[in-house]
Amino acid sequence: MKWLINRRARGINLLGLPTGTKLYIGEKAGVEITGLRNPCAQIDNFQSGLLNAVLDRDENGNLIRKSGVMAIVLTGGVVRVGDPVRIDLPPEPFRPLERV
């Protein structure tokens, strides 16, 4: 099972986390970040111009995906608004997130 996690979850820079980061949410729930969500042109069927809103370019012209991250569920549990989120980074060297 995969989870889509909003990129602004409680002030956490999800797009800046390395691959393999584990997030523990609330009392039991846990997920492992696997990569960047890769939006496609179908998103414009939902709302025109949305694809352009979730894609950007950095100062070097590299594509930046701003539509969130994908994760696998490690442990299930109830997740509520306001639950604490603990971040466990993987061992270094960190690998940046890539599209999945």
Q: Mean pLDDT across the stretch 86-100?
A: 93
pLDDT at 68: 83
How far is 95 from 46, CA to CA, in rounded Å?
32
pLDDT tens figures, 2-29 = 444 544 455 788 888 999 999 999 899 9
The reported pTM is: 0.75
Return the pLDDT at 18: 96
Segment among 3-7, 30-34, 54-58, 93-97 with least mean pLDDT: 3-7
Domain range for 84: 2-88
Element of type H or E holding 63: strand 63-65
Q: Does 72 have pLDDT greater than 70?
A: yes
> What are φ and ψ of residue 57, in 5° steps?
-130, 145
Coil vs helix vs strand at 45: helix
Residue 74 lies in a domain: yes
- What's the rounded Cα separation, in Å, for the pair 64 and 30? 26
Let me know if residue 26 belongs to a domain: yes
Cβ neighbors of 49 (< 8 A, separation 6 or more) are none
The domain tally of the chain equals 1
